[in-house]
Each structure stands twice: as C-alpha cells, then as structure tokens.
Structure 1
Amino acid sequence: MAYINANLAERELELIENTTFKGAGYEKVRNIFLFSCYTGLSYIDIKELMTNQMVLGNDENYWLFTKRAKTNEIVKIPLLPKARAIIEKYSDEMAHHPGGKLLPVLSNQKTNSYLKVITKACNIHKNITFHDARHTFATTVTLSNGVPIETVSKLLGHTKLTTTQIYARVLEKKIGEDMQNLMDVFAAKEKLNENSILPIREHRASI
C-alpha cells in the first residue's frame, strides 16, 4: 500500500477557513491551500492555471479544464462554491497580471513555510504540507460526503482506480479507530456502573 500523507479532518478544515491573518502573504497561502482542498489540484497545477481554463459548463456551473503536470492527464473539475469564491476574491488583482494566471500563487518553499505557521496558529498538530490539501479533498471533502470513488478518481486525474482506493482504505481505518474508541468509552462507563455503590434502577415503561 502506498504511503498517504496527513489530511485535515472537517473540523480542522473549518478552523483554517475561519482564521484570518494580518499578513497578505499568509492570507494568500491560506486561500490557495483551501482552493486545493476544494478542487483536489496540486500546487503546480494551481500555479499554472490560466483564466481561460475556467469555463461555463452545460450545467450552468463553472468548471476548470486543465491537465495534470505530473501525468499529463486531462482533468475537468466542477467548481464548488468555496473554490469559486477564492477565484472571485483575487479576480481584480489577477486582471492586471501580465501572464493571465488565475490565482496568485507564491513559491513552493514560501507556501509550505507559511503553511506551517498557519496550521500552528489554528492549533492543528499535524505536519501539513500543501500536498495534503489534495488528500483532504479526496477524503474529507468528497469520499466522506458520499461522492462515488469512480468520480473522485476522475476529479483527481488518477489513471487507475486502485490509486484512489487507497484513500477509501484510509477512511475505513479511521472509521474503525473511531468506533473502537466509542466501544472503549462504553466499556469504561459499564465498568463504572458495576463499581457504583448505588445500582442503577431499571425503569419500566408504562405503555
């Protein structure tokens, strides 16, 4: 099984979304990271995005039509509202960009450096890099919310479904761990009741 990096839980994702930073650089890195969380695109694929790659689809929603730098695989991604809001936030700034880029992406080194500060400020105790946004999209944003694995595979630009299935196995492992923790809580409560001086009286319903 391939190694899977860390991903953000839903609560951690919300913490980053709801934290504001005084420095414009930190705000940009936070927003571009969130854009990756809601599109599944990697750092380099976001950096290379051009304004003409955002297209109004037949469904009246905006899509991104792009190609993965890593595999040359064509990817078509419907824009979730939170991802589109980030594009709109920087639309005026990027309108004056001579290269026609869609978003203001800082260098990879600076991005990951700022990201460490951002996660620390949000009290997230994980070693999060920009690439973990892609894992967050796969697990927390899509698979956890019932998006079929075949669709997630297409959105991520995977050439094989087995690559995407790794994320599903990670989710199953997490669910198993959470349920085991719940069993432990129930067992501890039961033990506490057994050792209690006053036994819990059985309640009989009158209906």
Structure 2
Amino acid sequence: MNREKITILFVINTATSNQKGLCPINCRITLNKARKQFATGLLVNPNYWENKLQKVTIQEANHKYINAQLERIQVKIYNIALVFQLQGIEWKLDDIFNEYKGIPLKKEEYMLSCYRKYVARIQKLVGIEIKENTYEKFVYVGNHLEAFIKWNFKKSDFPLKELNLRFLDDFDYYLKTEKHIKQITINKIIQRLRTPIKQAISEGYLDRDPFILYKSKKVHKEVIFLTTKELKIIEESAFQPKRLSIIQDLFVFCCYTGLAFNEMAHLKTKNIQIGFDNMNWIQMKREKTQRQISIPLLPKAQEIIDKYSLVTNYIFPAVSNQKFNAYLKEIAIITEIDKRITHHTARKTFASTVLLYNDVPMEIVSELLGHSNMTITQESYGKVVQKKVSEEMQKLKLRIDNV
C-alpha cells in the first residue's frame, strides 16, 4: 500500500488533564477509513499546542523534546508501512500498530500450506490410529486443492483469513466441471478439506470456522441390490472356472451376512463364535467405523463357511477387490442379470432382500450393518421400505378387487 493512504494526526485530549492542567497527546492513524488511536505518553499545555502545524509552540518549556518525539513517532509508523510494502506483505491498520508497539506480527497462514501440514501430521499416525488408505485419501484431496487454487486464483496458495463459503462453492464447481467428479465424491472431498480448519482455529490462525454454514449437496443415490429371484439364480448356477465358483460362494456369503469386502477378506476362524443361542455368530469390528458388529450366521452363510477348509487363520482364499468385481461382471453376463454387480451389491442385498423384504425392523438392519447411527440406514434404505410397502399395497388392492 502507498504511504499516501496513511494519515497520522496528533490530537490533544482536552477532556483529560492533570493537576498542572497538562493534557495528553494522542496519535491517530487512519488507513482507508479505518482508524486507530493510542496515547503517545506526552503531555502538553493545550494553550501551547498548534494543531495546524502538529507541534507545540516555543512557549512550551519542553517544546524541542516533545516535537522531536512526535516526529520520531510519525517517522517510525511511516517506515513500518514502507517496509511492509517493500516486502510485499499484505497488512492492515492493526498490523502497523502491533509492529509499532513491538507486538510480534503473526505469520499469515495459507490454505494449502495448512492442509499439507495436517497431512504430514496424520502420516505419522498411519498404522497407529489411521489406515494407509485413509491417509492416501487426504493426499488425493490435497492434490485437487492445489490444482483448484492455481486454476481459480492463478496463485500457488490462498490466505486462510480470506476463506468464505464462496471458496467451497467454487471448489465444488471446479471438481464437477473440470474433473468430472460425481457429487457424492465431491461431498467426501469437501468433508476432508474442512478437517484441517479445526486445527487452524486451535492454533489461532482463524477465530471462527469460515465454512460453518456450509451444507453438503444432497445426493439421491439408487440402492442397487439383487431381487430374491436374482439371488437364487446366482446361488443355483454352476460355474465351470473355479475362480468364478469361488467368487460365487464369497458373494453369496456376503449377501447373507452383509460384510464389506475388507471384513470378508480378513474374516478369521476366531471371529466365528458361539452365541447365547448356541448358534454361530460373526464377532468383529467393522473396519470403516471400528464399531463392533455381531451377525448371526444364517444357514446359507454357515454352509459356505463349512465348504472351505480352514487351513489358515483366514476363512476365505485371498482375492483383490478389483478381481472380485471383474469376476462378478462375468457372473452377471453368464446369468443374464442386467445390473452392475459389485461386491458392495451383496451388502445392499443383505439389507434389502434378505432383511427388510422379510420384515426385519430398520433398527435391527442398522445394527447388523454396523452403521454408526440409524440416520445412515434410513437415508440409504428408506426407499426400499417404501417399495416394500407399495408392493404389499398392490397385493392388497388385488385381493380387494377379487372379492
């Protein structure tokens, strides 16, 4: 900023005087209509003050000292502003005042820098509190953040103090139009982006959350699951390649247990325990939420476990998620099921076809799926319940019509 934008004015506070009738001299700094006033520590007889000249007259016994001090204050403030300007530092009136008073100027923090510090911090927690893939997701978000700042602001970083809701709206737009990312993924990216903001607030770089009023955009995602007929087709089909036969078993097993891929892949013999009802139960922590889950083994699931020899601690043979889904695609083609089937379809089938379509209450479904709260279950499977109600009403209508 230019020196001309700063106005320094010395004013006499006539409302306050000591026993000798001397009044304090205050310094008033004005910058772009913002004003800051402070006491200089100097006292003067108001009769000897020349306001237009901004100095005391020679009638004042200490006029040389007082005028010299006023000039020193003025020069010091102008020099501080000049140094800020030469260093390319963006500053405000409070920054000048703090520097004049010797209060250390807090280094401005930037969004990308702040985010990277957070990522470096959680990297050290990999294997202790968080998993490697969680860390990699934060790195992925950081890469998008860096690209967005360059694309939108033509800068390498963005000041934390300038963050507002517009920043997230523009980021959402960028991810959607430039990166062609779906809204459900964008919501997750923004959720992770907001995490380091709490750290910045705790460290004093921000006095409030600039994104506090942000609401993620709702995504109405259709739940894809197998019908009773489609599940039966896959169960009863005979697949010649052994690799497809194994995937068939593992997929059907998950349709009757609701296990996610990692839970199925890491299922061990110790996780199969006899419950209070003398039946076998799966007892383990859900990897995603670290929530304890207890799932009774239905006959079909128990049959598949019994089929595999327990040579190692793990019940099922190892297979990658990528290959699992690739083989499921082949199974869908062979069985002529016109749906995009993935391992996650099994979990959806367990909740919908196996549980909700057999009148299992929503709260029990939520418990068996290991959801952290009922809202998640209701948001995901509310329409499945509506569809079930609709089907039952259609049956009732037919019965009434035939009376």
Q: Same fold (TM over 0.5)?
A: yes
Tell me what 1:73 maps to: 291
Q: Which has the higher contact order (CA 8 A, sep 6+)?
A: 1
| 1:64 lines up with 2:277 in the alignment | no
Letter in 1 for 2:256: Y
For residues 61 and 85 of structure 1, the distance between their equivalents in structure 2, rounded to whole angstroms, comes to: 13
Q: Secondary structure at the match of 2:293?
A: strand
Matches within 5 A, 1:105-144: 105-144=318-357
Runs of 4+ in 1 over 6 A off after TM superposition: 179-182
For residues 314 and 266 of structure 2, the distance between their equivalents in structure 1, rounded to whole angstroms, comes to: 7
For residues 19 and 65 of structure 1, the distance between their equivalents in structure 2, rounded to whole angstroms, comes to: 30
Tell me what 2:384 maps to: 171
Tell me what 1:193 maps to: none
| 1:11 lines up with 2:224 in the alignment | no
For residues 10-50 of structure 1, the C-alpha deviation after alignment (integer angstroms, 9 at most, x for no partner) is 10000000101111110111110111100011011110111
Letter in 2 for 1:21: F
Q: TM-score normalised to the size of structure 1?
A: 0.80
Letter in 1 for 2:367: K
| 1:42 lines up with 2:260 in the alignment | yes
Q: Secondary structure at the match of 1:39?
A: coil
Structure exhibiting the larger radius of gyration computed from Cα positions: 2
For residues 161-194 of structure 1, the C-alpha deviation after alignment (integer angstroms, 9 at most, x for no partner) is 0111134422244347758999xxx9xxxxxxxx
Q: Secondary structure at the match of 2:351?
A: helix
Identity of aligned residues (%): 39
For residues 168 and 156 of structure 1, the distance between their equivalents in structure 2, rounded to whole angstroms, comes to: 12
For structure 2, the 5+ residue unaligned runs are 1-217, 399-403
For residues 138 and 72 of structure 1, the distance between their equivalents in structure 2, rounded to whole angstroms, comes to: 20
Label 1:180 to 1:142 Cα distance change in 2 as closer, same or farther (>3 A). Answer: closer
For residues 17 and 59 of structure 1, the distance between their equivalents in structure 2, rounded to whole angstroms, comes to: 27
Tell me what 2:374 maps to: 161
For residues 17 and 55 of structure 1, the distance between their equivalents in structure 2, rounded to whole angstroms, comes to: 25
CA RMSD in angstroms comes to 2.0
Letter in 2 for 1:133: A
Tell me what 1:201 maps to: none
| 1:30 lines up with 2:248 in the alignment | yes
Letter in 2 for 1:34: V
Q: How many residue pairs end up in the alignment? A: 178
Q: Secondary structure at the match of 2:284?
A: strand
Letter in 2 for 1:103: F
CA contact (8 A) 1:32 1:105 kept: no
Q: Secondary structure at the match of 1:76?
A: strand
> Quick one: which of 304, 309, 316 aligns to 1:103?
316
Following superposition, the deviation at residue 120 of structure 1 comes to 1.3
More strand per residue: 2
Following superposition, the deviation at residue 123 of structure 1 comes to 1.0
Q: Secondary structure at the match of 2:256?
A: helix
Q: Secondary structure at the match of 1:158?
A: coil
CA contact (8 A) 2:255 2:349 kept: yes
Following superposition, the deviation at residue 105 of structure 1 comes to 3.8
For residues 115 and 15 of structure 1, the distance between their equivalents in structure 2, rounded to whole angstroms, comes to: 13
For residues 82 and 179 of structure 1, the distance between their equivalents in structure 2, rounded to whole angstroms, comes to: 26
| 1:147 lines up with 2:365 in the alignment | no
